[in-house]
A and B are shown apart, each in its own frame.
Chain A
Amino acid sequence: MSVALKSWRANEGPKHLITMVWIAANVFLFWKTFMVYFSEAQYYYLHKMLGLGLCISRASASVLNFNCSLVLLPMCRSLLTFLRGSQRLLNRRTVFHTCLTYAVIVLVHVSAHLVNMVSFSVRYSEDFPGLNVAQYRGQVTHTDTHMDIFFPGVTGVLLVLVLFLMFTASSYCIRVSSYEIFWYTHNLFIVFYVILMVHVAGGALKYQSNVETHPPGCVQNNLSSWTNHRAAGEKGTESSGAPQTVCQEEARFQPHFPQTWLWVSAPLCLYCAERFYRFIRSSAAPVTIVSVISHPCSVVELRMLKSGFKPHPGQYILLNCPSVSSFENHPFTLTTVSPFVLVWKCVFLPTCNISNLTVCCAFSSHPRVHVDGPFGSPSEEVFNYEVSLCVAGGIGVTPFACVLQALFDDWRQYKLKRLYFVWVCRDLQSFYWFADLLCGLHERLWRDNRPDYLNVQLYLSNTQGLQSISEERYRFLSSRLRIGRPKWKLIFQEIGRANQLKRVGVFCCGPKGISKALHTLCNSNPHTETAFEYNKESFS
């Protein structure tokens, strides 16, 4: 039981900790801003005019400021690659839930401001004309003009519209079926941030700038006696013994300095700097396509050369092909590092377009491509464990192919002592993509007297018909081929028994079903003294 807890702490602990810290920061910001507007002296008159709507809208605005600035940081891929180890903390699900909460907070903010609009109109103040936003009492309730000249209102509506377009186009279904819609609407974030900077510049909500000379609730000399009595009456019920302070001057109101600019400008500058750096890096050295090879099951292999490009095994790049689309970048894992090779399967529409273009142009000049990267991914951590389990589903084998290639070149320099490689495919032909690499690595390790270094298990999930790998040179693979889907519990038991008291890194690149099963098993493996640490490869 305590061992499962150790695994759980290593796997889930950091993620849950970050989530708790994030929730705590949001709650703290909301509460602090709420209390400022509820009880501070400089907002006394404004609070009396608008009531709770003021406090809720400003508190939700500060939470939105915080999240707007945070949302840019995970997009700074180069920075994250530099700070390695952060990929385990930034889970896809966390980001999704952040966005959902964000949407809810936006709704709260908008609703509160709508109530504020009504309050501004109903409680129009003749005493403090500088505080008003409405032009006269009852503007909203009695006429049809909706104060639409009101600048933050217009920009607020535009912001919600942009957010609506971005949010609706970013669901999983849309990304899988029509990637272009997602890509082009998501690039509206630039418009969003520009309008956001302008949204807060309206200056509708004002604070009182001369609280010392005009304490709130003080009695004014030149005010009507009715107002004086009312103020006196209020003060009387609260503290009957306190003397009435006389105002030395009229209340003066000033709009805020837009706080959003402070929150958002730093991450925005960082993000712009990073995009600029990536653009320079990708267009500085040209990419030469050396060869294009078609493999069975609609898989294409692209060999390229780029000067000054030094990726590590397990990293990925963003590929941009201007002939297909000028703005789209798609992630691909590298399968070898020099010359760097990409292998992908034609499943996704953009990948099919690139496949068709490169294969058709195989005999004439190749299309121009730009490469942005390399960026870090969890697969780089394979070498940091003594024992690793790599599970690949179908074309998900590409990051591990890079790892295997790196081991083939020189396995001695790494901390890794044993690698368990499980590859599950639907078609037998898929195994031929990297059959040579696997057999070559096995031969090398046998010659170097490390037969227990690499343990390969191949599973064919399609159980129809008689299937086997019949080539003589792939005898190593045919003896390790099993028909049917693997029983993960048995594999974990075997690994656990053979590697007691060790930390095993579990890496998965494949369908969600497999990764979920592995994740659960990593957290609940009570039979041995081994700790299994789960690392998931994540891009769609």
Chain B
Amino acid sequence: MGKIEWAMWANEQSLAAGLIYATGGIVGVAGQFRGWQFAAFGIAAGVFVCLLEYPRSKRRKGTSVERTGQYCFTVCVKAFGPLTRNYYVRAFLHAALCVPGGFMLATVLGCVCLGIASLIYLSAAIHGEHWEPILPRTEQPKSVGNSIKEPPQNPPPRPPPELRRKKVDKLETAVYDNPMSVTINE
């Protein structure tokens, strides 16, 4: 099957689960269900999970696509070091956060979704994945080498004269120069 990156799927799931958890919590608190305290916890846990999961991890191979505006979240999440890098910690954290949701009807969905996300994170951790921050690449200033001070001694090599002469009997092979540049790089 090839190397599947489970953590990427778990990340999408936990973000969606956080939203569902928070929405269920809002409904529970607004409707004053029995056990609305669990719903209030659900809102807090949902928001926390969303903030934790918003910055995407860098892929092992290939280009990583950032979410919009994720840089500040990346910096915050990176600051916790091994706690956020390790996916075992995340799996257990999500499992712990989802348990109180199971005690109340409105947050049951959020609980189940977060539980599934936690299982996928466990699978990712077993496969040895970890979270890597996506940081902007610092552009190396193009340093001009010392050879700029030494101009070339010889003219550039040219092809032999018989190839240089334009063959006017074959019109289609006569090369022409554009009077203005037609490419962006010139």
* Chain A residues near B (Cβ < 8 Å): 107, 110-111, 114-115, 117-118, 140-142, 144, 146, 157, 160-161, 164-165, 167-169, 171-174, 176-178, 180-181, 349, 353, 446, 459, 463, 475-476, 479, 482-487, 490
Contacts and interface: CB of A to CB of B under 8 A. Distances in A.
Nearest to A482: B183
19 contacts: A111-B23, A111-B27, A141-B33, A146-B105, A157-B108, A161-B113, A168-B13, A176-B62, A177-B59, A178-B5, A181-B9, A349-B2, A446-B172, A459-B183, A463-B185, A475-B173, A482-B182, A485-B184, A487-B184
B16 interface: yes
A499 to B, nearest CB: 19
A144 B59 CA distance: 44
B105 A117 contact: yes
A115 B65 contact: no
Contacts of B49: none
A463 B74 CA distance: 34
B182 A487 contact: yes
Given A168-B13, A169-B12, A353-B2, A484 B109 contact: no
A114 B182 contact: no
B4 interface: yes
A76 B13 CA distance: 28
B172 A115 contact: no
Given A157-B112, A487-B184, 19 more contacts: A111-B24, A114-B105, A114-B106, A115-B27, A140-B34, A161-B109, A161-B112, A161-B113, A164-B16, A164-B20, A164-B116, A168-B12, A169-B12, A174-B9, A180-B2, A446-B172, A482-B183, A486-B182, A486-B184
| Chain A binding surface, main DSSP class | helix
A165 B186 CA distance: 49
Interface in B1-48: 1-2, 4-5, 8-9, 12-13, 16-17, 20, 23-24, 27-28, 31, 33-34
B16 A178 contact: no
B4 A180 contact: yes
A117 B108 CA distance: 14
B113 A164 contact: yes
A81 to B, nearest CB: 31
Contacts of A171: 12
B130 interface: no
B62 A177 contact: yes
A140 B184 CA distance: 68
Contacts of B112: 157, 161
B13 A110 contact: no
Interface residues of B, number: 40
By Cβ-Cβ distance, the 6 closest A-B pairs, closest first, are A484-B183, A484-B185, A141-B34, A168-B12, A178-B4, A168-B13
A174 B12 contact: yes
A181 B8 CA distance: 11
A111 to B, nearest CB: 5
Contacts of A172: 65
A485 B182 CA distance: 9
A394 B108 CA distance: 49
A484 B27 contact: no
A117 B24 CA distance: 14
A164 B113 CA distance: 8
Interface string B74-94: 000000000000000000000
A178 B9 contact: yes
A169 B173 CA distance: 53
Contacts of B59: 177
Given A114-B27, A164-B16, A173-B65, A484 B184 contact: yes
B175 interface: yes
A482 B23 CA distance: 56
Nearest to B108: A157
A118 B174 CA distance: 84
A529 B71 CA distance: 46
A174 B27 contact: no
Contacts of B28: 114
Nearest to A172: B65
Contacts of B1: 180
Interface in B133-186: 172-175, 181-186
Contacts of A475: 172-173
Contacts of A164: 13, 16-17, 20, 113, 116
Contacts of A484: 183-186
Given A146-B105, A174-B9, A484-B186, A181 B31 contact: no
Contacts of B184: 484-487
A164 B172 CA distance: 61
Contacts of B33: 118, 140-141
A434 B80 CA distance: 53
Given A164-B113, A476-B172, A146 B185 contact: no
Contacts of B181: 487
Nearest to B36: A141
A484 B184 CA distance: 6
A173 B108 contact: no
Contacts of A107: 20, 23
Contacts of B185: 463, 483-485
Contact of B108 (A140, A141, A146, A487): A146
B9 A169 contact: yes
A354 to B, nearest CB: 12
